[in-house]
């Protein structure tokens, strides 16, 4: 095994050159295991507990390997952090001349052609949109990379779809700005670099052979590091399926109008067909119900109104295809719109054709938009084909991959059952830094009065913690009830998911220092708040996915037909990993202290509680609220009780709080 003590050891380069760096045996062991795999090839699934420093553990061997390495992260924010902060630091410490490139999906880069179209349509935009467009225009004159993350405009702002491209509307080499295209430049740099940093959405898009500007890079890589790998199976199902959204159709209509006014102003019939497509698209949404939701496809099949709306949409889309064909050759933008219209028509017809047993169809609605989906039930075969290439090294890592001590669930999802595995526990002193609390006396989550009991408990715990808490929920409904119940009852700022962008809420939480933040799924992971500002995490229920979710329901049926146990084989492992993510928000540094409150009594009353408990860090534990109070009071008194009798877990160490 490669010895990396000279870099990661107590007297190594990082200890000498990076302020605040401390030697962690787990980090060094992980780096040495990865270095050996990069040299020999193979597949490694490994979990590194919070605080291990897994980013440095794979960056050091990656930069020393001499091979072309692709690193994929869970989100664009993590991707930026890795490329702009961590990678340059390690490269400087190692003093190796390794070239690196950052590559994102095409929608992250300014498109000069679409910016010009948006300028031409300035009169049709509202005031806020015009203001954002002026910011983009000013920035476009000086940016070198064209990465929209450089601008302080929210990533969900309406201006971005107007000035970025998709694989649908990109003109490719027919574009007049091709030579100056930011995406083309980013691709070229990625092709030439020795280390390429991408995100899972881009990685999966390439695996699925969907053009996101990355298809020429993947075949050239020797080593693949997939961080936050627990997200991969879910992301992959999206990219290996088919989807069609109302927004895609409305964007097609808008772009066709703009191109027609520019190159075919006499084609009144074409504009008429575009207007009819818009109306047909808008007619679909109200047929799908008023609420935001995900629903099974059978609801659409059984609804005559929906079927008529989809049939009308197909006719209008087909008519637009015919109109664009009649105007072929009059403009590159119009020709591109014709290709898009044909592609969307094919998707719509595929989605309304007889269903395959290997796929699940469903729909989702949000606001005034809708999206129709066809999703594969399994992606294992698709991954297995890619990973089988000789001499390549694949490292799948995360702080939450194991269920108990095993990786069977994750390995089955990606078809890598023969992979090597390893697990390094967190270096944090969980028995002394953290207290795990499951209250006595709460009813079952199915009880109609359950949320009221959680509210009263949260109110009491927040008083002891003096704010400084995350309250994590498995449903938006429970979140709303808790927010309303706490309003006016606690003297601490309340921040609620949805009231502001996620990044803004987190920044306010850090700055305030005594706030209470209420969030659902997007706050369970990828959130790093160190120090006293976050001293308590309260989780309302064990995070089992809703059995009413159409994709989960289809997977349950498929597993049952194959003779499996859906709860044991899928629902429970997924919930365990989600709980580990939520619990992982609490202790983020060696000086952090805090209390994890899991309200759900099923953790201790059901046999499957063993699986959850065996997957959590070895915290001190109690069922007595007085111990929680003493923990936050930080007194020298011994806690009145640290209870192990009803907690069926041998890994959770019973220790006394300070």
Q: What is the pLDDT of residues 396-437, one digit of tens each?
A: 999 999 998 899 999 999 999 999 999 999 999 999 999 999
> Is residue 656 predicted with pLDDT exceeding 70?
no
The CATH number that applies at residue 275 is 1.20.120
Residues 416 and 448 both lie in one domain: no
Residues 165 and 221 both lie in one domain: no
> What percentage of the chain has pLDDT greater than the value 90?
69
Q: 445: pLDDT confidence band, cut at 50, 70 and 90?
A: very high
Mean pLDDT of 211-226: 71
Contact present, 200 and 232 (Cβ < 8 Å): yes
Q: 651: pLDDT confidence band, cut at 50, 70 and 90?
A: very low
| pTM, two decimal places | 0.88
Residues 395 and 469 both lie in one domain: no
Contact present, 586 and 426 (Cβ < 8 Å): no
Maximum CA pair distance of the chain? 86
**Residues sharing a CB contact under 8 Å with residue 398, sequence separation 6 or more, in sequence order:** 47, 48, 227, 228, 229, 230
Residue-wise over 396-425: b if at least 16 C-beta within 10 A, else e? Answer: bbbbbbbbbeebebbbbbbbbeebebbbbb
Give the total number of structural domains in the chain: 4
19 domain residue, yes or no: no
Residue pLDDT, tens place only, 285-342: 999 998 888 999 989 999 999 999 999 999 999 999 999 999 999 988 899 899 999 9
Residue pLDDT, tens place only, 59-98: 999 999 999 999 999 988 889 999 999 999 999 999 999 9
Structure tokens at 100: 């690196």
421: β partners: 45
Residues 278 and 136 both lie in one domain: no
d(CA 377, CA 356): 10
655 domain residue, yes or no: no
Residues 92 and 74 both lie in one domain: yes
Structure tokens at 190: 């990625």
CB atoms within 10 A of CB 536: 26
Residues 598 and 484 both lie in one domain: yes
Q: 217: pLDDT confidence band, cut at 50, 70 and 90?
A: low
- Can you give 306-335 as a three-state secondary structure string? HHHHHHHHHHHHHHHHHHHHHCCCCCHHHH
- What pLDDT score does 168 carry? 76
Structure tokens at 118: 């948006």
CB atoms within 10 A of CB 605: 12
Q: What is the full DSSP assignment across 468-509?
A: -EEEE-S-HHHHHHHHHHHTTTSSS-EEETTSS-HHHHHHHH
Residue matched to tokens 């020797």: 222
Residues 480 and 618 both lie in one domain: yes
| pLDDT-wise least confident of 39-48, 213-222, 452-461, 629-638 | 213-222
Residues 543 and 471 both lie in one domain: yes
Mean pLDDT of 198-213: 77
Main-chain dihedrals φ then ψ at residue 444, nearest 5 degrees: -65, 150
Residues 573 and 466 both lie in one domain: yes
d(CA 440, CA 628): 13
- What pLDDT score does 597 carry? 98
Containing domain of residue 603, as a range? Answer: 430-633
Which SS3 state, helix, strand or coil, does residue 397 take?
strand
Residues 388 and 338 both lie in one domain: no
> Is residue 204 predicted with pLDDT exceeding 50?
yes
Residues 390 and 455 both lie in one domain: no
Report H helices in 226-303. 232-239, 246-263, 268-287, 297-301
d(CA 543, CA 539): 9
Which uninterrupted H or E stretch holds 551? helix 550-561
269 domain residue, yes or no: yes
Q: What is the full DSSP assignment across 37-68?
A: HHHH-EEEEEEE-TTS-HHHHHHHHHHHS-S-
Residue pLDDT, tens place only, 514-538: 999 999 988 999 889 999 999 999 9
> Is residue 106 predicted with pLDDT exceeding 50?
yes
The three-point CA angle 594-599-602 to 5° equals 130
Contact present, 53 and 27 (Cβ < 8 Å): yes
- Can you give 605-651 as a three-state secondary structure string? HCCCHHHHHCCCCCCEEECCHHHHHHHHHCCCCCCCCCCCCCCCCCC
Main-chain dihedrals φ then ψ at residue 423, nearest 5 degrees: -145, 130
374: β partners: 242, 361
The CATH number that applies at residue 84 is 3.40.50.300
| Residues shown for the chain | 658
> Is residue 357 predicted with pLDDT exceeding 80?
yes
Residues 407 and 362 both lie in one domain: no
d(CA 199, CA 519): 24
């Amino acid at each position: 095994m490669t010895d990396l003590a000279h870099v990661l050891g107590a007297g190594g380069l990082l200890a000498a050159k990076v302020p605040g760096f401390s030697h962690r045996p787990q980090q060094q062991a992980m780096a040495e295991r990865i270095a050996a795999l990069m040299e020999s090839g193979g597949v490694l699934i490994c979990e590194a507990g919070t605080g291990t420093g897994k980013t440095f553990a794979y960056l050091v061997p990656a930069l020393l390997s001499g091979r072309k390495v692709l690193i994929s992260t869970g989100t664009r924010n993590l991707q930026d952090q890795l490329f702009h902060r961590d990678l340059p630091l390690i490269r400087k410490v190692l003093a190796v001349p390794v070239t690196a490139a950052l590559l994102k999906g095409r929608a992250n880069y300014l498109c000069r052609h679409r910016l010009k179209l948006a300028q031409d349509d300035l009169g049709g935009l509202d005031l806020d949109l015009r203001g954002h467009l002026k910011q983009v225009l000013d920035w476009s004159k000086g940016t070198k990379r064209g990465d929209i993350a450089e601008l302080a405009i929210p990533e969900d702002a309406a201006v971005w779809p107007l000035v970025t491209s998709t694989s649908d509307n990109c003109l490719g080499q027919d574009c007049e700005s091709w030579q100056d295209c930011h995406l083309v430049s980013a691709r070229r740099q990625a092709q030439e670099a020795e280390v390429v940093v991408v995100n899972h959405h881009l990685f999966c898009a390439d695996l699925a052979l969907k053009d996101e500007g990355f298809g020429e890079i993947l075949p050239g890589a020797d080593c693949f590091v997939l961080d936050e790998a627990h997200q991969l199976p879910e992301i992959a199902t999206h990219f290996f399926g088919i989807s069609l959204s109302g927004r895609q159709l409305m964007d097609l209509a808008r772009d066709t109008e703009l191109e027609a006014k520019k190159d075919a102003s006499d084609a009144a019939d074409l504009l008429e067909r575009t207007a009819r497509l818009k109306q047909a698209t808008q007619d679909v949404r109200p047929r799908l119900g008023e609420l935001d939701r995900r629903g099974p496809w059978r609801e659409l099949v059984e609804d005559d109104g929906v079927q008529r709306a989809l049939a009308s949409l197909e006719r209008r889309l087909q008519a637009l295809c015919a109109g664009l064909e009649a105007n072929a050759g009059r403009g590159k933008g119009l020709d591109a719109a014709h290709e898009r219209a044909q592609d969307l028509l094919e998707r719509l017809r595929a989605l309304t054709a007889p269903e395959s047993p290997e796929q699940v169809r469903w729909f989702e609605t949000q606001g005034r938009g809708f999206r129709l989906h066809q999703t594969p039930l399994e992606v294992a075969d698709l991954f297995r084909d890619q990973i089988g290439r000789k001499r390549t090294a694949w490292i799948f890592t995360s702080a939450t991959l194991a269920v108990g001590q095993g990786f069977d669930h994750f390995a089955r999802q990606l078809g890598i059952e023969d992979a090597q595995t390893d697990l390094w526990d967190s270096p944090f002193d969980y028995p002394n830094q953290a207290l795990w609390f499951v209250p006595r006396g709460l009813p079952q989550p199915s009880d109609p009065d359950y949320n009221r009991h959680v509210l009263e408990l949260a109110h009491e715990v927040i008083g002891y913690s003096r704010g400084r808490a995350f309250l994590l929920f498995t449903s938006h409904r429970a979140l709303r009830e808790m927010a309303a119940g706490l309003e006016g009852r606690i003297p601490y700022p309340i921040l609620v998911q949805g009231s502001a962008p996620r990044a803004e809420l987190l920044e306010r939480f850090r700055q305030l220092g005594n706030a209470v933040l209420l969030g659902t799924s997007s706050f369970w992971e990828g959130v790093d708040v160190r120090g006293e500002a976050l001293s308590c995490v309260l989780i309302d229920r064990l995070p089992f996915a809703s059995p009413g979710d159409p994709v989960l329901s289809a997977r349950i049926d498929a597993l049952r037909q194959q003779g499996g146990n859906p709860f044991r084989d899928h629902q429970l492992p997924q919930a365990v990993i989600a709980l580990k993510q939520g619990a992982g928000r609490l202790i983020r540094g060696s000086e952090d202290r805090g209390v994890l409150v899991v309200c759900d009594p099923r953790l201790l009353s059901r046999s499957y509680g063993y699986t959850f408990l065996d997957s959590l860090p070895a915290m001190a534990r109690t069922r007595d609220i007085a111990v929680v109070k003493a923990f936050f009071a930080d007194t020298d008194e011994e806690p009145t009780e640290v209870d192990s009798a009803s907690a069926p877990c041998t890994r959770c160490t019973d220790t006394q709080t300070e």
